[in-house]
Amino acid sequence: MKLMWFHLMPYTELPDDFRQKHPSVWVDIHSSLFDPKRAHLMYNDFMDELEYAAECGFDAICVNEHHSNGYGLMPSPNLIATALSRRTTDTMLCVMGNSLALYNPPTRVAEEFAMIDCISGGRLIAGFPVGTPMDTCYAYGQNPSSLRERYLEAHDLVMQAWTEKETFAFNGRFNQQRYVNIWPRPVQQPHPPVWIPGGGSVETWRWCAEMDYVYCYLSYYGYKAGSATMKGFWDEMDRLGKDRNPYRAGFLQFVGVAESRSEALERYSEAAEYFYGRCLHVDSRFASPPGYNTEATQRAGIESQIKQAAQAAEAANKDPLAAQGTTGTTAGTRFNMVAREMKDIVDRGYVIVGSPKEVIEQLEHVATSLNVGHLMLLLQYGNMSKELTKYNTKLFAEKVKPTLAKMFSDWEDKWWPKPMAQSARAALPAFQPATVAAAE
Amino acid sequence: MSEPRTETVDVNGHACRVWRKGSGRKIGFLAGFGGLPRWIPFLDRLAETREVIVPSLPGHPGATGHTLLDSHLDWLVAVRQLLIKSGLEGADLAGSSVGGSFVAEMAALWPMSVRKIALIAPYGLFDTKDPPTDIWAQKADHVAGLLCADAQKYIDLKAAPSGANSSSEWPIEQIRASEAAARVFWPLGNTRLEKRLPLITVPTLLLWGEQDRVMPRSYAERIKAVLKAPAEICIVPGAGHLAELDQPDEVAKAVLKWTA
């Protein structure tokens, strides 16, 4: 199994009364809460943490894109990935990813990803999310009614830009370019592996299968809430006659590891409650622009609500917390149902905590039950300090990762980057700040 | 309240519902935000003395085809086709909100195609200093109170009829109507209609609900100032954005008087 280290880059100093005094962490979060000089330190801490994860031997480090967002300070994950490519050598760089419909022209994504792939010597994983409603429709003003059509067309343009050898004209419905001919071209041929972070729509699963892309379910609500989605994904793969290679899938999970469960609860409660209490305080006004969810997805949601209502009593008897779940049909209903206190957060499976042995057991269960070969781990969340993040990262790398890495060894990961041979890659000089160099 | 006759016409290969009721000189009505999932009293008032014809805009209840329309030109051509096929060439036209914007566009671009028009708080303009409410960024239970002075009027309009339709299709149709409006007007509601308003040459009535909580009343003056046609502003007491739902009698009376 691949163990990947994911950073959201949350602003770590939202006030204690953030939920009471501010309507939303996203879209219209107030600029007075942002201190650029504090953010200078946060960005540098976060990049230190990502570099540290690479040093600790994680298979990949992951970044993602958000806009006008107090828990995601990466409007451009490409900037971070580029900087990381100069401070890491063997770790893959997973940009999860660029929301294709937001780029005009979308060839910008083909160009920037090709740059990262060249600079890093072919270590890029290219993520193509549609993007959340908050990012795409509200912060970036994209029309929810045409967002998916634009996304799919932009995807076609990027893939053609990567693979077509001659200059070509692109005559799309939304994009017209007379001369498409990107320089640079990606190291990985015909193109870097493409991974698709998505919600639970059948259309996305089918499309991933058709295109042979990795499907990633990046939920903040852990494995209990995610199990229905991943079951849906694998059922659909079965129907389409695809094998159950666990590397077809990626899944995000928060983890806090310590010497014991009680110590883990003590260490990680504050950061987890900061994340679920403040970072996921999203105004539901921004969650459901009309047309963002396809009618097929709406229909499935309504039908499942009807079914859920019928089964509610039975489910509540079996497992009250899982039944409450966090599986609302829209982001708005999910945000309203979020558990905010550590006991619930852990009981619902949002965050897995424990000793290394306990974490191994739980993650083996996650990987096996969801059949996921790419486990993306959030080992920094909320206002977790650099010191605690490094502790969590190191303990996981030393005591948890070696056991989990052996899982799924019978399967080939056909969706992993294929970097240039080490001997053919540029040597990265050790970084030495000018002030230090001058003193020597 | 008796039911209208229902027909469909084809626009870009998609069926669009057309309601007809009454007799007399024709008057067309293009509905406001959310469309018309059911017949409303305002239309009955019009039908007492006129043949009222109500084509449903693409994507609104009774019609599909909005996802084919990528540009504002696509929309304008589709609405023009819809009106011609509904038999409204040369007729009086009234429109509310979303529909009001299209009525203004038709009068501006095809001045010979309409006789007189009535615009009820039309979309299409945006003033940074006095912006319309963002109807697509609201908690679900706030929408009715923004669209009507009496929220219950909008809730009743949108309530699923017992026994009719399948339980899942009705809500999807209502979301589709909001999506169709978004497809035209996202994100600001600004289609640059203001640039075309001076092309309107037919008499134009501007109706505004006194309690319109979506489209600022200052826009009535703004529109009237650039029209080169005879125009009047009529403020309707006790009405919100969809004034025809709140005050059907008053709005119908004003429209009938203007188009007499």
Contacts of A304 in chain B (CB under 8 A): none
How far is it, in rounded angstroms, from Cα B49 to Cα B47? 5
How far is it, in rounded angstroms, from Cα A92 to Cα A76? 18
Contacts of B139 in chain A (CB under 8 A): 284-285
Is 0.90 exceeded by the ipTM? yes
The pLDDT value given to residue A328: 52
Which residues contact residue B48 at a Cβ distance below 8 angstroms, ignoring those fewer than 6 apart?
A: B22
Contacts of B179 in chain A (CB under 8 A): 144-145, 290-291
- How many domains is chain A partitioned into structurally? 1
pLDDT by residue (tens digit) across A314-357?
655 554 444 444 545 556 666 778 999 999 999 999 999 999 99
Contacts of B137 in chain A (CB under 8 A): 138, 285-286, 289
How far is it, in rounded angstroms, from Cα A255 to Cα A380? 9
Which residues form the domain of A287? 2-439
Longest pairwise C-alpha distance within chain A: 74
Q: Which of A289, A267, A247, A266 is nearest to A60 (CA)?
A: A247
The pLDDT value given to residue B139: 94
For residue B240, which amino acid is it? G
User: By CA distance, what is A175's nearest residue in B?
Assistant: B70
The pLDDT value given to residue A315: 56
Q: Which of A326, A244, A289, A373 is nearest to B178 (CA)?
A: A289
Q: Across the interface, do A145 and B186 touch by the CB < 8 Å criterion?
A: yes
Domains and CATH numbers, chain B: 5-258 (3.40.50.1820)
Low-confidence ranges of chain B (pLDDT < 70): 1, 163-166
User: By CA distance, what is A139's nearest residue in B?
Assistant: B187
Which residues contact residue A373 at a Cβ distance below 8 angstroms, ignoring those fewer than 6 apart?
A: A1, A2, A245, A246, A247, A248, A249, A250, A367, A407, A408, A411, A413
Strands B14-21 and B51-55: antiparallel
CATH number, domain containing residue A137? 3.20.20.30
How far is it, in rounded angstroms, from Cα A215 to Cα B182? 29
pLDDT by residue (tens digit) across A121-167?
999 999 999 999 999 999 999 999 999 999 999 999 999 999 999 99
Q: Mean pLDDT per 10-residue run, chain A (440 residues)?
A: 98 97 97 98 98 98 98 98 96 97 97 98 98 97 98 98 98 98 98 94 93 96 94 96 98 98 98 97 95 90 75 56 48 76 96 98 98 98 98 98 98 98 91 70
Residues A50/A55/A58/A64 CA torsion (nearest 10 deg) = 20
Question: What is the nearest CA distance from A305 to chain B, expressed in angstroms?
Answer: 10
Q: Across the interface, do A295 and B172 touch by the CB < 8 Å criterion?
A: yes
How far is it, in rounded angstroms, from Cα A268 to Cα B237? 58
The pLDDT value given to residue B125: 98
The pLDDT value given to residue A290: 97
The pLDDT value given to residue A322: 47
Q: Where are the alpha helices (DSSP H) in A71-221?
A: 77-85, 107-119, 133, 147-163, 202-211
Q: Across the interface, do B168 and A299 touch by the CB < 8 Å criterion?
A: yes
Q: Which of A74, A149, A142 is nearest to A103 (CA)?
A: A142
Q: Across the interface, do B70 and A173 touch by the CB < 8 Å criterion?
A: yes
Question: What is the nearest CA distance from A15 to chain B, expressed in angstroms?
Answer: 25
CB pairs under 8 A between A and B: 61
User: By CA distance, what is A302's nearest residue in B?
Assistant: B168
Q: Across the interface, do A285 and B187 touch by the CB < 8 Å criterion?
A: no
The pLDDT value given to residue A325: 45
